[in-house]
Structure 1
């Protein structure tokens, strides 16, 4: 069939209610595919709760429109249960671990065979889980009275190495990268206390990750990628040092070049046996949508809509105070791409149309959609604080609760 005989597919509807139920369902019961990621359960819980916090209450009820879906759908006992669980992961050495499942496994192993030593200890606390633990407490409007502030400060300080980078935890065998730097800087900014880390050395490490293309890499000398680029820009922003970011125009150009046209959607049966995958959507002219890639010459992926849009929203004030995302790209093209990635039955958003949705791509897609609709008039999503990754009103509550004890 010729192109002229193939009308463009209509824009997909935003399935807000299905996404809210998808996030709530996963917040209660993570299915089997997440089993291998149990050490990061804190971050998985954050993706679920943060998705609900971005969706308005009107998505699922006729409650007060000023409330979020999280405030309506999560019962008080469930909220308290989540808060208690988060604090159970607070380690005596400072910081938060991702889960306590190893403790349960060790207990069962000891009961079955007292000599078993395979589960000799819990996973250590780490920076990413600590960062998302604080965000969960903020999302659930905790008063932070049980937070070990001094332990947190000691922990992030102990993670910094002599080259300025941060390990995920002291003694971690993996080298530090912009993700761990961002996590440490985010925690310091939430506590409004930078006394235990060397900001200059941390930013110097990030600068060494800057590549000739304009973006930042996971390590010095590697290829620039949108994820580390967001982490680096956000770190400069949180440290109030965006003015020290070299050559912002070349960085802006690199980010803008990441928006590319995806291949056209074609109606077909999915070869994926996973029951949550679905056939590709209706045929679409590739000019109708434009998502984001993580690196040059790579396909579009829903998660990179946030990593690029988040980086742009933080960087633009350093390039020109008068610029907004709408001035440098067309969010409507990315919106079309992301809505094509929705699962029409189960809810949730996948990395690409037809793939199985997951909590990671669902949250990052909703966050990108929120940034592309700053006033919330198109999809009704709540405004996002792109530096911390929570709704603006949650970030304000966190500052009020955490900074009062400075």
Structure 2
């Protein structure tokens, strides 16, 4: 009698915390080859890794206090200090932060100043300030006045913000949100024309309710989050026009995922491993995939598009910020289904190497990993209990709430110290 085939593991219904901690830590320490074309955005890649460690609990990978986050126990003091020193090395005389120093090193012997070709960048500046907060920095080395001046220099006549002064690309909600986030962190809006910036964001509003990357383009969940978060950070959510239409557009983004494609080179297993399992097990897997599609519902970025793990964050974070301004009695779980989204996101986990992919069966990356964890945190909070053990998220700054509170305290202290120092010099 032939031995029975080994049982196939059931679909994951739990967060693979240890896998994700190790995945984030590996990517924070070393820049994998696929990310090398994005080296100019290394600051943002580091943010995704460190922010993931700040959301994840430490319990599965450490015997320390289970109340600690993974970032509190997984980074050695010298590693933490190395990250802090590297971040401050990226603050340029213009006040903002660049994404990395690799181009500057390559141009060290050039006749042209490296900063002209590798300027500070608004998005990298936002993520730099957050990284400093994640690493519990006191912001004593932050050049606040230069930074505030840099933000103002990025604003365009139409109210939008470019990535850096003189940038050839037009401004968009992403860079506008980054400027608003930095201004709110500094608690210094003196260099920002808030009304003009919000007028630009309103010009990106589309007839269907959401916001687009530029006026006249199709509404997308990413720019919509950036716009709503900008209004929230400026304390202007009450001024949003047609909020119910915006709410309806966001809610309608939760949809069933499409059927999975046939196995390909992006599958978790090789073809040889799949062949060994046999045809009977393949049929069982097809049946299971069908059940998972029916029992899950992720979010799409635009109408008639497939679900994508990152849009679970852009949509649920936008809703988290918007709902209190529309009706304080509304909750995230009363208008969408975080449980169905949780099923979808957990199915996007890589069961061997950790990390979360844009869809089941794809390779994970640091952006989808962090944004999925952030969405799971928001959905967990909406469900009334921390069933996954993730830290609660501040949806406006996109950091754990405890980190946001610490950042506000540290930045205010550094501002007071800076003013006292200026007074002593006078």
TM-score of the pair, normalised by structure 1? 0.92
Q: 1:367 aligns with which of 362, 374, 396?
A: 374
Matched with 1:391 is 400
Cα distance, 1:162 vs. partner?
Answer: 0.9
Cα distance, 1:378 vs. partner?
Answer: 1.3
Matched with 2:240 is 245
Cα distance, 1:275 vs. partner?
Answer: 8.9
Distance of 2:407 and 2:74 partners within structure 1: 21
8 A Cα contact 2:268 2:350, kept in partner: no
Q: 1:304 aligns with which of 311, 320, 333?
A: 311
Secondary structure of the 2:84 match is helix
Distance of 2:46 and 2:269 partners within structure 1: 22
Distance of 1:10 and 1:87 partners within structure 2: 43
- What CA deviation, in whole Å up to 9, does each residue of 1:114-156 have, x standing for no partner? x897978551001000000000000000000000000110000
1:120–1:333 distance in 2 versus 1, CA, 3 Å: closer
Matched with 1:4 is none
Cα distance, 1:63 vs. partner?
Answer: 1.2
Q: 2:258 aligns with which of 225, 249, 263?
A: 263
- What CA deviation, in whole Å up to 9, does each residue of 1:320-365 have, x standing for no partner? 1121111111101000100111001100000111111000000000
TM-score of the pair, normalised by structure 2? 0.88
Which contiguous aligned blocks of 4+ residues in structure 1 show a shift greater than 6 angstroms?
115-120, 273-281
8 A Cα contact 2:57 2:390, kept in partner: yes
Matches within 5 A, 1:222-237: 222-237=217-232
Matched with 2:174 is 179
1:164–1:363 distance in 2 versus 1, CA, 3 Å: same
8 A Cα contact 1:165 1:181, kept in partner: yes
Cα distance, 1:106 vs. partner?
Answer: 2.8
Distance of 1:34 and 1:139 partners within structure 2: 22
Work out whether 1:314 is the aligned partner of 2:321: yes
8 A Cα contact 1:86 1:133, kept in partner: yes
Work out whether 1:272 is the aligned partner of 2:272: no
Secondary structure of the 1:373 match is helix
1:121–1:169 distance in 2 versus 1, CA, 3 Å: closer
Matched with 2:423 is none
Which is helix-richer, 1 or 2? 2
8 A Cα contact 2:356 2:372, kept in partner: yes
Q: 1:142 aligns with which of 110, 114, 137?
A: 137
Matched with 1:27 is 28
8 A Cα contact 2:104 2:118, kept in partner: no
In our comparison, the structure showing a higher alpha carbon Rg is: 2
Cα distance, 1:264 vs. partner?
Answer: 3.4
Cα distance, 1:259 vs. partner?
Answer: 0.4
The CA RMSD measured in Å over matched residues stands at: 2.2
Distance of 1:302 and 1:273 partners within structure 2: 17
Cα distance, 1:19 vs. partner?
Answer: 0.3
8 A Cα contact 1:39 1:98, kept in partner: yes
Distance of 1:355 and 1:159 partners within structure 2: 37
Distance of 2:363 and 2:25 partners within structure 1: 17
Residue correspondences, number: 391
Matches within 5 A, 1:352-363: 352-363=359-370
Distance of 2:186 and 2:259 partners within structure 1: 46
- What CA deviation, in whole Å up to 9, does each residue of 1:87-124 have, x standing for no partner? 000001110000000123234xx5xxxx8979785510
Matched with 2:277 is none
Q: 2:163 aligns with which of 158, 164, 168?
A: 168
8 A Cα contact 1:209 1:216, kept in partner: yes
Matches within 5 A, 1:3-402: 10-107=11-108, 110=109, 122-265=117-260, 269-272=263-266, 282-285=288-291, 286-374=293-381, 376-402=385-411
Q: Which runs of 5+ in 2 are unaligned?
A: 1-9, 275-281, 417-426
Cα distance, 1:284 vs. partner?
Answer: 3.1
